[in-house]
Structure 1
């Protein structure tokens, strides 16, 4: 499911860039002849090249940051699945006394999977309930009777893994959404508008030029769309993080 606000931003960017090029073509016909000399064109193209270079650098940095956010979140989900499987293995090794803790772990894993990767249409999932289930899991582990050194070591390792799952839960819950500040994004679109405006002023008004302006605007819009999607992989993103690690973990811990 796509966030409508992202589509609106991308449509605005496309209109700004392509519209800027068309405005430049129109303005060129209204300007006096001495404004369109080779000397004037050289200065305008130089100024546009500076803005275009700055815009290209910013787009590259934004794409790198968005890809980093995507990779970090994907890594947290994978680590969460691995920790759930490892915790279940420790509880299984502890013995029948840990059956209640294992049931709490299964309940938490199922609820967390629904919370992070809801079905379509997504049901209402209480995010607070996953925290309560995790608290219940920790209480079950701390309530285990430590009969000997082996059980003590297993319980300590299980509690340590539970603390890691707590940390991973909060890291995913605190995900603020897109890594791109909206005001900065609109400043970037304004820069692109100026660049395309300068392109249109000194371009001949023919179909080839218009098609080139549109296709290049579409390409840059695609890059902005990709940045928005990669920067927000947990909220209505077309490039959503895969829930397969959690699904595999749930299949593994379902074994008796």
Structure 2
């Protein structure tokens, strides 16, 4: 669903408002036996069942999206911290660590360039980003420690590099969100049924039409925010790019 949050919201708005307004206009053309009070009561009962179920599922979707967003935000700060700590270890190698530091800086610069068009370049899955990080790892493994102290530093640096490598791929996997499209589609269909019940036997006046349109717009905005939060690296509710800026500043010193 990444990149399609706005399209989903527009589709939801037209589907919900269309269901409500179609019911409002068409119920008058139904035969009298379909407009009796007992029929209307059953329709409202069915709609109430879906109101309860939809409320529960929407609550679960909000919680899932919130957890996805918070996990991605935490991992972005974690990878930023690991890169800075790795750079500090490499500085202690002196000239032997300069090539690794250059490769690491090039990777961060690439991530920063990607961040100009995406919310966070540290979640970039491009081949160039992967190659730059792999090159830093190869340069690090090529270092030959000359003392016990350097061996300890080298092992710590390898551990930090592996943490950066693992976190990068974890962020890449988080970029597409966790809410299944099928579940979202089912919830929208349930909402359409609920909105259809709103227009059944309702008076066709300006206030009723405005209420249906306003409710559809607000529900579409709700779905938009849920989907947008579930995709943590795009849209208005996205993980901050502040960590990558701090990393670039730290490595450039």
Fold agreement, TM-score > 0.5: yes
Question: 1:92-115, CA deviations, whole angstroms, 9 ceiling, x for partnerless residues?
Answer: 123232111211111111112323
**Per-residue CA distance 1:166-194 (angstroms, 9 max, x = gap):** 10121223346243333332222221111
**Residue matched to 1:152:** 151
Cα distance in 1 for partners of 2:64, 2:139 equals 40
* In structure 1, C-alpha distance between the alignment counterparts of 2:62 and 2:116, rounded to whole Å: 24
Deviation of the 1:118 alpha carbon: 3.4
Q: What does residue 38 of structure 1 align with?
A: 37
Once residues 106 and 112 of structure 1 are traced to their aligned partners in structure 2, the CA distance between those partners, rounded to angstroms, is 10
**Counterparts of 1:246 and 1:215 in 2: how far apart (Å)?**
40
Relative to structure 2, which stretch is displaced further, 3-12 or 188-197? 3-12
Please identify runs of 4+ aligned residues in structure 1 that moved more than 4 A.
none
CA distance in 1, matches of 2:68, 2:125: 25
Aligned length: 249
Establish whether residue 244 from structure 1 lines up as the match of residue 252 from structure 2. Answer: no
Report the CA distance between 1:119 and its aligned residue.
7.3
Tell me the equivalent position of 2:103.
104
State the distance in 1 between where 2:90 and 2:136 align. Answer: 11
Q: Distance in 2 between matches of 1:196 and 1:134?
A: 51
1:199 aligns with 2:198: yes
1:72-103 superposed Cα distances (whole Å, 9 cap, x missing partner): 22222111111111011111123232111211
Query: Within 1, Cα distance between the matches of 2:36 and 2:211?
Result: 23
Q: Distance in 2 between matches of 1:155 and 1:240?
A: 36
Contact 1:10 1:221 in 2 (8 A): yes
Q: Distance in 1 between matches of 2:192 and 2:66?
A: 25
Counterpart Cα distance in 1 of 2:238 and 2:165: 22
CA RMSD of aligned residues (A): 2.4
Aligned counterparts of 1:240 and 1:4: Cα–Cα separation in 2: 12
Q: State whether residues 22 and 199 of structure 2, in contact with CA within 8 Å, keep that contact through their aligned partners in structure 1.
A: yes
Q: What's the offset of the Cα at 1:10?
A: 1.6
Q: Distance in 1 between matches of 2:227 and 2:161?
A: 33
The two structures have a TM-score, normalised by structure 1, of 0.87
Conserved? CA contact 2:125–2:172, under 8 Å: no
Indicate the SS of the match to 2:220.
Answer: helix
Alignment match, 1:231 = 230
Shift of the 225–144 alpha-carbon distance from structure 1 to 2, 3 Å rule, reads same
Moved more, 133-142 or 153-162: 133-142
Which secondary structure does the structure 1 equivalent of 2:203 belong to? Answer: coil
Residue 224 of structure 1: CA displacement? Answer: 0.9
Residues 104, 137 of structure 1: 8 Å contact kept: yes
